[in-house]
Amino acid sequence: MTSENVHNFLRRHGMHPEAIDMAACCAVFQKEMQKGLMGETSTLMMIPSYVSPEREVPRDMPTIVLDAGGTNLRMGLCRFCEGGAELSQVRTLPMPGTKESMDADRFVAALADLTEPFLAASHRLGFCFSFPAEITPRLDGIVLGFNKEVAVSGAQGLHLCQALSDVLVSRGHQPLQYALINDTVAALMGGYGATDPAAYDGYIGFILGTGTNCCYTEYMENIPKLPPLAAHTMVVNMEAGGYGLFPTGTFDHQIDARSGNPGEHLYEKMVSGGYFGDIALETLKGAAAEGLLTGIAPRKLGMKDVCAYLEQPDGNSPIAKFCGNVEEADTVYTILDLLLERAAKMVAVNLTAILLQSDMGKRPTRPACIVVEGSTFQKAVVYQRKIYFYMRVLAEDTYGRYFRFRSFSDNNLKGAAVAALLKQDAGSAALNQ
């Protein structure tokens, strides 16, 4: 099997990285951001967060922190002191709705059970919520729906923190003072709190884990869909995973059709850890169906398996089962490598479009700070290397935009506390006008 046949197989199915013309895709992506900011129909929701990294974080005020993600639910207590943020009593549990499906009432009751033991220490809650939610000026989150295969029915339209507070009040507790933010916003706020803002020309929060998303600080005058507010800037949660204008191919369509939210979050399904193993498996099966591979398809593949194979094409990997003979190992490797190239190019387009839209990072000595979180980015080193490479090509070499990737421990929990504490602060009154 020549390598050209492998390339042609991916081209025929619209899965080849060549399908992503990065500069052209970047212009389309930025236009879609602008439509979302204007309130026009767009696959990018561009959700205002009503938080802004502009004030100092109050000290010595314990805050309950909750971090609800696609796989885990983490919680604990956070307090800011001289040396920075301190976390205590941190617990990690499976996210309700992942092991078994449930309705919204049961979901809120499960959160109330988990929150109750912390109420002796604080009634302030910072809630990092990794799902689409419209944020109210009072920092509650109106659930727009669950994704990442979390099964909670009837949650759309729920004012999540108020519902949680009401359940706690019905159990004899005081109401909560809450702030709900998206996980990208938590990443950005946590990163802002942990760095010297003078060193950076602005911040981007970027998550690449089970799902993917970005947020960034936008000037108020660039958010025409909001009424005039006193703040100069606001963090905007793009819900970037929802972007629907990248070219898609045969195997993307298959994964989308059998997902829990067909037709939605198309970009997320092409690049994030929750779906990449499935894309790889379907593409390899497609290659087998066309006679390019003669081995046996494994039942399941994860992002972990793909990245491990690309680091070290190991005969014991479940992926190796596809190879009917030694030469086919090259076919498998090339397909996986090109699929990951395609994903890295799309990620670079997304991040560069933000640098251009927010006009960040024009000087190499004052780059934009991309605060990155998520198990996929952290653990999939081969993917990370490709993202760096395409960021260099697109952001730096094509557009002269400079950036640094930074990560911080427990950033979601700390960032959620920052948001709750800044809401408490008198300054946030300006945002509640």
Question: Applying CB under 6 A, which residues contact ligand BGC?
Answer: 130-132, 147-148, 182-184, 207, 209, 211-213, 239, 241, 268
Q: How many CB atoms lie within 10 A of CB 71?
A: 17
Residue type, 172: G
- Smallest distance from the beta carbon of 285 to ligand BGC, in angstroms? 25
Nearer to ligand BGC, 42 or 130 (CB): 130
| Distance (Å) of CA 379 to CA 204, 363, 374, 384 | 20, 30, 9, 8
Which one, 241 or 277, has the nearer CB to ligand BGC? 241
Nearer to ligand BGC, 80 or 377 (CB): 377
| CB 131 to ligand BGC: min, Å | 5
Q: Residue 10 or residue 351: which is nearer to ligand BGC going by CB?
A: 351
Angle of the 183-194 helix axis to the 411-424 helix axis, nearest 10:
80
Assign 3-class secondary structure to 232-296. Answer: CEEEEECCHHHCCCCCCCHHHHHHHHCCCCCCCCHHHHHHCHHHHHHHHHHHHHHHHHCCCCCCC
| Shortest separation between residue 413's beta carbon and ligand BGC, angstroms | 14
**CB closer to ligand BGC, 188 vs 329:** 188
Query: Which residue is at the shortest CB distance from ligand BGC?
Result: 211
CA angle 415, 72, 251 (to 5 degrees): 105
Residue 311 makes CB contacts below 8 A (sequence gap 6+) with 381, 382
C-beta atoms surrounding 167 within 10 Å = 18
Decide the pairing of beta strands 141-143 and 133-135: antiparallel
Helix, strand or coil, per DSSP, at residue 393: helix
Instruction: CB nearer to ligand BGC: give 160 or 319.
Output: 160
- Closest approach of ligand BGC to the CB of residue 377, in Å: 11
Q: Using CA atoms, how far apart are residues 281 and 91, in angstroms rounded to an integer?
A: 34
Sheet strand arrangement including 177-182:
84-94, 72-81, 63-68, 124-129, 177-182
Report the nearest approach of ligand BGC to the CB of residue 184 (Å).
Answer: 5
Least distance CB 388 / ligand BGC (angstroms): 20
Could you count the other beta carbons within 10 Å of the beta carbon of residue 261?
16
Q: Residue 182 or 384: which CB sits closer to ligand BGC?
A: 182
Which CB atom, from 336 or from 372, has the smaller least distance to ligand BGC?
A: 372
Q: How near is the Cβ of 238 to ligand BGC at its closest, in Å?
A: 9
- What DSSP designation does 174 have? P
| Cβ atoms of 417 and 69 closer than 8 Å | no
- In the bound complex, what is the minimum distance in angstroms from residue 90's beta carbon to ligand BGC? 19
